[in-house]
Amino acid sequence: MKALLIVNGQAGKGKTRTRWIRLEGYLQTFGIHYDVHFTTRPKAAIEVVKHAAANQYTHVIAVGGDGTVNEVVNGIAGQNIVFGVLPTGTGNDFARMLQIPVDPFLAVKKIGTEVHRPVDLLQLNGGYVAGAVGIGLDGAVAEDINRVSWKKRMGTFGYVLSMLKLIFTFPPFSVHLEIDSQVFDFQGCWLVAIGNSQFYGGGMKICPNAKFDDGLLDVCIVHNLTHLQLIKLFPSVFTGKHILHPNVLCLQGRSVRIQTDPAVPVHGDGEILGKTPGEIYIRPQALHVIY
């Protein structure tokens, strides 16, 4: 193994740099040969890892949270590179999806095995998403969290605070969906989530039936709820039982085209990706991951 480690020192409420000192010792115990790059700005990791294979690296390992994972995945997609993650973020949904220990000192043992398997990715408007895409209220929450730094540092609790605030100010919207050959139209829609993973937002099971290796994307539509009904429904997303509500619809397919009126915010892996419309595709076995 010749590994390039991408370390986001700001991940995990800024504690990753401190953890890195200990993690280095663990990596050396397993005899892993690596170079390390510390990111200093958003999206920097994408450029750093784009030529990893050409520079003779066999593995790229993200040390950070889901945002770091998203950047690295977008940089290495299409290369003959094995991906690994040492989760040090506040959400760590990618690690949770693959049952990688969210304690990075335990996750090092996984890296040491070098056993890797293929997983699917979502492709949205040319870029890649490892876990889930959120459209509508969820996209607005991601915008709010990324705009207010202390909420981002609070992880799931920050997400809950933003959600409770925006429920009363975010207007429902109409949706036109094309999932494979089927067409769906909804009024009074609050959010549409498209998952390769069950999880987002730090452990919420937004798409509880999603599997990362089945060649399918899962779609969850929440619509025609009053503000009070939405607030009552919200806690059940942590267990995945929200899908039992009659105004929550779950579908599957290989591609989704979405149009909304008006245009609404979109996030992927918690990163802001603009606004609708959009096209999302499943890319089966697009990434080899140690897990």
The second-level CATH assignment, the architecture, of 2-114 is 3-Layer(aba) Sandwich (3.40)
Count helices and strands in the chain by DSSP H and E runs: 9, 17
Q: What is the reported pLDDT for 158? A: 83
Mean pLDDT of 49-75: 96
Nearest to 49 by CA among 40, 129, 41, 39: 39
At 223, the amino acid letter reads: H
Between these two residues, 205 and 155, which has the higher pLDDT value?
A: 205
pTM of the model: 0.92
Q: Supply 272's token pair.
A: 């802001």
- Give the residue extent of every domain in the chain: 2-114, 129-286
Q: What is the reported pLDDT for 13? A: 63
The model's confidence at residue 133, banded by pLDDT at 50, 70 and 90, is very high
Tell me the helix, strand and coil percentages in the chain, rounded to 5. 30, 40, 30
Distance CA 60, CA 25 (A): 18
Is it the case that residue 211 has pLDDT exceeding 90? yes
Mean pLDDT of 59-79: 96
Q: Do 67 and 269 meet the contact criterion of CB atoms below 8 Å apart?
A: yes
Q: Supply 263's token pair.
A: 């245009």
Q: What is the pLDDT of residues 167-201, one digit of tens each?
A: 999 999 999 999 998 999 999 999 999 999 999 98
DSSP 171: P
Kindly give the pairing relationship between strand 2-8 and strand 33-39.
parallel
Distance CA 278, CA 258 (A): 5
Q: What is the reported pLDDT for 12? A: 58
Any residues with CB less than 8 A from the CB of 153 and at least 6 apart, and which?
13, 14, 90
Ranges of beta strands (E only) in 196-277 are: 199-200, 204-205, 217-223, 248-253, 255-261, 265-268, 271-275
Q: Do 272 and 144 meet the contact criterion of CB atoms below 8 Å apart?
A: no
- What's the topology of domain 129-286? Tumour Suppressor Smad4 (2.60.200)
Q: What is the reported pLDDT for 29? A: 84
- Averaged pLDDT score across all residues of the chain: 93
Is it the case that residue 250 has pLDDT exceeding 90? yes
Give the DSSP H/E element, type plus range, for residue 15: none
